[in-house]
């Protein structure tokens, strides 16, 4: 295996106190150990969590009673905001301890107030990868519901997004869902150069007709991966991308799925009724998405 480049120098892991926080930390630690990357843990408090709620005090309340109630409500809002920030720092501290226990040398934390997607966009220039759980705190038990923040992050982020599965399992193989489009070519180029995937078994899969066009695309991708030191198992399988990819993942015991997000073909389009959404929803393994 050729020596990979340091394509992940710093990653940001989004933690929110949900059941996925442990998995996000475990997957972030896996990436960090393989790439010697620094990890920044990010917890974003919604503005509603720290803002004073508007209160309607109209009605038959005397001026003195109204003033007293306003003061009490203001104190409660202030206490709620302080508790939200305290809880956020506790989540970050726990997550940092998890990563340090996994041997990650450089871990920092960041507590922000605002919108998750806006925050990730602001710091995107400082990082090389985003690690996020499939579902957030409000959607832990809605198995078929993807976290809204996940969809929004993937749609807006130009860095690779590593979507953590519910629980971490050792990763020994990758499946690249490849259609020859810009996003999937970007994924192949990244894998060929990156130390993150070095030493993993690699399978390259195109879903569609076995024709000259698809063969040529696969040959080009295979050549790029071989130049990076990979032995690549190449396959073209007809059928529906969602079904074919899921079957391949399960049949071969794949540990990590890599695919493009967005694009004109079904395999890369995101988010409404798309293959990407279905893969993230139904696959039990982590997925790395490229735009």
Q: What is the mean pLDDT of residues 256-265?
A: 75
Q: What pLDDT is attached to residue 62?
A: 59
Distance CA 212, CA 236 (A): 11
Question: Higher confidence at residue 183 or residue 109?
Answer: 109
φ, ψ dihedrals at 161, nearest 5°: -110, 120
Q: What pLDDT is attached to residue 50?
A: 61
* Backbone region of residue 158 per phi and psi (left: phi > 0; alpha: psi in -120 to 50; beta: other values): alpha
Q: What percent of the chain has pLDDT over 90?
A: 63
pLDDT-wise least confident of 49-53, 69-73, 259-263: 49-53
Q: Which DSSP symbol is given to 286?
A: -
Q: What pLDDT is attached to residue 236?
A: 96
Q: What is the mean pLDDT of residues 41-63?
A: 66
pTM metric for this prediction: 0.85
Question: Higher confidence at residue 36 or residue 51?
Answer: 36
Residue 178 CA to its chain's centroid (Å): 19
Q: Within 13 A of 245's CA, how many CA atoms are on the CB side? A: 33
Question: Higher confidence at residue 269 or residue 210?
Answer: 210
Give the H or E element holding residue 280.
helix 275-282
* pLDDT over 70 (residue 267): no
Burial category of 286 from C-beta neighbours within 10 Å (exposed 0-12, middle 13-18, buried 19 and up): buried
Q: Which residues of 161-189 are buried (b: 16+ CB within 10 A; e: fewer)?
A: bbbbbeebeebebbbbbbbbbebbbebbb
* pLDDT over 90 (residue 91): yes
Q: What pLDDT is attached to residue 119?
A: 94
Q: Which DSSP symbol is given to 53?
A: P
Sheet of 201-207, strand order = 107-113, 38-45, 10-14, 129-133, 161-164, 287-290, 256-260, 173-177, 201-207, 232-237
CB-CB contact of 36 with 26 (8 Å)? no
Q: Which DSSP symbol is given to 173?
A: E
* pLDDT over 90 (residue 97): yes
Q: Can you list the domains of the chain with their CATH numbers?
A: 10-49+85-162 (3.40.50.620), 169-290 (3.40.50.620)
From residue 77, give the alpha-carbon distance in Å to each of 3, 71, 103.
54, 10, 39
Q: Pairing relation of β-strands 201-207 and 38-45?
A: unpaired
- 257 token code pair: 């799925």
Which long-range contacts link 77-84 to residues 24+ away (Cβ below 8 Å)?
77/51, 77/52, 77/53, 78/52, 80/49, 80/50, 81/49, 81/50, 81/51, 81/52, 84/45, 84/49, 84/50
Distance CA 58, CA 73 (A): 15
Q: What percent of the chain has pLDDT over 70?
A: 84
Distance CA 97, CA 241 (A): 40
């Amino acid at each position: 295996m050729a020596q990979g480049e340091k394509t992940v120098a710093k990653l940001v892991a989004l933690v929110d106190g949900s059941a996925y926080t442990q998995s996000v930390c475990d997957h972030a630690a896996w990436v960090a150990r393989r790439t010697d990357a620094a990890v920044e843990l990010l917890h974003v408090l919604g503005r509603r969590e720290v803002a004073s709620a508007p209160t309607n005090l109209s009605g038959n309340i005397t001026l003195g009673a109204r003033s007293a109630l306003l003061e009490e409500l203001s104190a409660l809002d202030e206490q709620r905001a302080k508790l939200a920030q305290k809880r956020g720092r506790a989540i970050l501290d726990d997550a940092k301890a998890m990563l340090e226990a996994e041997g990650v040398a450089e871990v920092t934390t960041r507590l922000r107030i605002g919108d998750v997607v806006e925050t990730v966009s602001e710091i995107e220039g400082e990082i090389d990868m985003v690690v996020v759980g499939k579902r957030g705190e409000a959607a832990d038990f809605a198995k078929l519901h993807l976290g809204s923040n996940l969809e929004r992050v993937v749609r807006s982020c130009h860095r690779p997004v590593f979507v953590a599965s519910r629980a971490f399992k050792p990763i020994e193989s990758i499946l690249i869902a490849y259609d020859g489009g810009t996003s999937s070519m970007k994924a192949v180029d990244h894998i060929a150069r990156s130390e993150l995937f070095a030493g993993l078994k690699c399978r390259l899969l195109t879903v569609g007709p076995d024709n000259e066009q698809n063969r040529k695309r696969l040959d080009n991708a295979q050549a790029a991966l071989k130049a990076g030191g990979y032995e690549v198992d190449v396959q073209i399988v007809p059928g529906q991308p969602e079904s074919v990819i899921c079957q391949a993942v399960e049949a071969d015991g794949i540990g990590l799925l890599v695919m493009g997000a967005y694009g004109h073909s079904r395999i890369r389009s995101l988010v409404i009724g798309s293959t990407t959404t279905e893969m993230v929803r139904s696959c039990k393994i982590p997925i790395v998405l490229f735009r």
